[in-house]
Amino acid sequence: MSTNEQLATIYDQVRTRSAGEPEFHQAAAEVFESLHLVVERRPEYAEAGLIERLCEPERQIIFRVPWVDDAGTVHVNRGFRVQYNSALGPYKGGLRFHPTVNLGIVKFLGFEQIFKNALTGLPIGGGKGGSDFDPKGRSDAEVMRFCQSFMTELHRHIGEYIDVPAGDIGVGAREIGYLFGQYKRLTNSYESGVLTGKGIAWGGSQVRREATGYGVAYFVAEMLDSLGTSLDGKTVVVSGSGNVALYAIEKVHQLGGTVTACSDSSGYVVDPGGLDLAVLKAVKEDRRGRIDEYATEVATASFVAGGSIWDVPCDVAVPSATQNELDADAAAVLARNGVRVVAEGANMPTTPAAIQTFRDAGVAFAPGKAANAGGVATSALEMQQNASRDSWSFEYTDRRLAAIMRGIHRRTVTTAEEYGMPGDYVHGANIAGFIEVADAMSAMGVI
Ligand code: NDP
Ligand code: 2IT
């Protein structure tokens, strides 16, 4: 059997076993596309059944989450934690609270997380979790009761050396606080290292809140540097207006770029002179409001309900909302409008056809597992601080983050070159991440 046939057979088995999980198939297919380059040179990976083992989560936990709303009505949600791979360290990855969450979504995110975490060079395995709970429109008390119920089951499966969750869509500092409080109460122990993204006063790390967005901006700066230019004077469009988007915008502005548009699920705002971050934070962080409120408050801005944010011309695009938000049509528009660099702040926001469109148009494209790894990397720095009962300054932690992002960029570029795909960040990230995990798994035998 040729290498390609061998990989096609394994991929078919993966699909059959995970019927009805299209996002997981997509995430797996993206990695499989790069694997033939590795397996041709290193057949021992395929022989040891490594690829099949990597595709199968070590453990999947699905549980009932009952809770009572403010009116006294009982609700039942579903909770998930997929402990995907612990070859490099305890399972690590966020929790997502969003009505679209299902097992396939959690598996795609967990699978990506394995390679992303490997690329950071830090000792963290891959996992992901969440619930189909929708926090939108819920009071703090309702969110608290939901989080307490969720943690009442989850606490038996996690721990500083076992599995360390953090935030993702719908899970920020407020939710991590309720989750940590309930974990502490159930276990009667102040185990700081069990969750990351905590508040600074109770074991959190400086820069963790900013880290994913800052990290993407640092990565974009490296990509532009490779092209012989910089962020200075560039126009940038960032989709979403959550944790990742807000701090990507902040750092892009600090590095001399101008972010002219951002969005939420209701539409997008354009502010040609550059978004006013203070107003944006007031709307989105302080008030948990909708993005059209920005256009009501800022005279130079306009709100477009629905529509595609990718119609806004830019030099750099940073999709930072959710999976498959940038399709081939949007990619064609961006390319036609002269985009030079696209970096994924979200996980898998770009469809496979859109990635191909960027390749064909010669646009530099960085996948999330490289470009958005700054969040989880800083989570690993939070774990280091918790383990040593230390806390570092903002400046020191930010320098560490910037160095990690430079390292991931260098490694991705070098690996792509080594495997005959110069300039291809997708292959570079997949191959570098895979080799790191595969070598560790090989050393540990068939487990
Ligand atoms: P937030 O919940 O803070 O913000 C999410 C943003 O994306 C909101 O603006 C939201 O709009 C929008 N959005 C979410 N789902 C949809 C949807 N189905 N359709 C349209 N818009 C949507 O999440 P984060 O900023 O933390 O996460 C954004 C992305 O970044 C996700 O893909 C996440 O997996 C990824 N990521 C997050 C990291 C982190 O540290 N937080 C680390 C690495 C990656 P609305 O409010 O209208 O729903
Ligand atoms: O997708 C991601 O990398 C995250 N949501 C962050 C995970 C973490 O453990 O900090």
pLDDT digits (tens, 9 = 90+) for 281-299: 999 999 999 999 999 999 9
DSSP 283: I
At 65, which helix (H) or strand (E)?
strand 59-68
378 lines ligand 1 (CB under 6 A): no
Cβ burial, residue 229 (10 Å; 0-12/13-18/19+): middle
Of 34-43, 56-65, 423-432, minimum mean pLDDT range: 34-43
**pLDDT-based confidence at residue 422 (cuts at 50, 70, 90):** very high
Asked if residue 349 lies in contact with residue 317, where contact means CB atoms within 8 angstroms, the answer is no
Fill in the amino acid letter for 255. Answer: L
Asked if residue 167 lies in contact with residue 176, where contact means CB atoms within 8 angstroms, the answer is yes
Mean pLDDT of all residues in 142-162: 98
Please state the CATH superfamily assignment of the domain spanning residues 211-371 in this structure: NAD(P)-binding Rossmann-like Domain (3.40.50.720)
Q: Whose CA is nearest to atom 32 of ligand 1?
A: 346
pLDDT on residue 149: 99
| Domain ranges across the chain | 3-55, 59-190, 211-371
436 lines ligand 2 (CB under 6 A): no
196 lines ligand 2 (CB under 6 A): yes
At 121, which helix (H) or strand (E)?
none
Rg (CA), the chain: 21
Q: Which residues pair with 305 in a beta bridge?
A: 267
CA–centroid distance, residue 52 to ligand 1 (Å): 30
43 token code pair? 């057949």
Query: Would the CATH topology of 3-55 be identical to that of 211-371?
Result: no
Residue 329: CB atoms within 10 Å: 14
State how far Cα 7 lies from the chain centre.
26
Closest ligand 1 atom to 98 CA: 15
Tell the residue number behind the tokens 């809770």, with chain if given: 67
Q: Whose CA is nearest to atom 48 of ligand 1?
A: 265
Domain 59-190 top-level CATH class: alpha beta
Q: CA 224 to CA 318: how far, in whole Å?
A: 13
**pLDDT-based confidence at residue 361 (cuts at 50, 70, 90):** very high
DSSP 312: S
pLDDT on residue 54: 97
CA–centroid distance, residue 93 to ligand 2 (Å): 5
Domain 3-55 top-level CATH class: mainly alpha
198 lines ligand 2 (CB under 6 A): no
Tell the residue number behind the tokens 């499989």, with chain if given: 32
Residue 2 has pLDDT above 90, yes or no: no
DSSP 168: B
Hey, which of 169, 239, 304 would you mutate to test ligand 1's pocket, going by the most ligand atoms within 8 Å of its Cβ? Answer: 169
**pLDDT-based confidence at residue 1 (cuts at 50, 70, 90):** confident
Closest ligand 2 atom to 373 CA: 3
pLDDT on residue 387: 98
Q: CA 312 to CA 333: how far, in whole Å?
A: 9
Q: What is the pLDDT of residues 85-122, one digit of tens each?
A: 999 999 999 999 999 999 999 999 999 999 999 999 99
Closest ligand 2 atom to 112 CA: 1
pLDDT on residue 446: 93
Mean pLDDT of all residues in 246-254: 98
DSSP 159: B
Hey, which of 92, 108, 113 would you mutate to test ligand 2's pocket, going by the most ligand atoms within 8 Å of its Cβ? Answer: 113
Q: Phi first, then psi: what are they for 209, rounded to 5°?
A: -60, -40
379 lines ligand 1 (CB under 6 A): no
- The answer to whether 128 is a known catalytic residue is yes
Which of 62, 50, 55, 60 shows the shortest CA–CA distance to 14?
A: 55
List 128, 198, 234, 369, catalytic entry: 128
DSSP 335-388: HHTT--EEE-SSSS-B-HHHHHHHHHHT-EEE-HHHHTTHHHHHHHHHHHHHHT
pLDDT on residue 46: 86
**pLDDT-based confidence at residue 224 (cuts at 50, 70, 90):** very high
Q: Which residues pair with 82 in a beta bridge?
A: 60, 128
Which of 122, 47, 54, 109 shows the shortest CA–CA distance to 81?
A: 109
445 token code pair? 């035998």
Q: What percent of the chain has pLDDT over 90?
A: 98
Closest ligand 2 atom to 117 CA: 3
54 token code pair? 């990597």
Q: Whole-number mean pLDDT of the chain?
A: 97
Closest ligand 2 atom to 208 CA: 10
pLDDT on residue 175: 98
pLDDT on residue 340: 98
Q: What is the pLDDT of residues 47-81, one digit of tens each?
A: 889 999 999 999 999 999 999 999 999 999 999 99
Task: Tell me which ligand sits closest to the C-alpha of residue 114.
Answer: 2
Q: What is the pLDDT of residues 321-337, one digit of tens each?
A: 999 999 999 999 999 99
180 token code pair? 């940590």
DSSP 232-267: TT-EEEE---SHHHHHHHHHHHHTT-EEEEEEETTE
pLDDT on residue 377: 99
pLDDT on residue 183: 98
**Gap between the terminal Cα atoms of the chain:** 26
pLDDT on residue 48: 84
Mean pLDDT of all residues in 357-365: 98
Which of 177, 220, 436, 444 shows the shortest CA–CA distance to 345?
A: 220
CA-CA-CA-CA dihedral for 223, 401, 157, 203, to nearest 10 = -150
Look at residue 59 and give its three-state secondary structure. Answer: strand
CA–centroid distance, residue 346 to ligand 1 (Å): 7
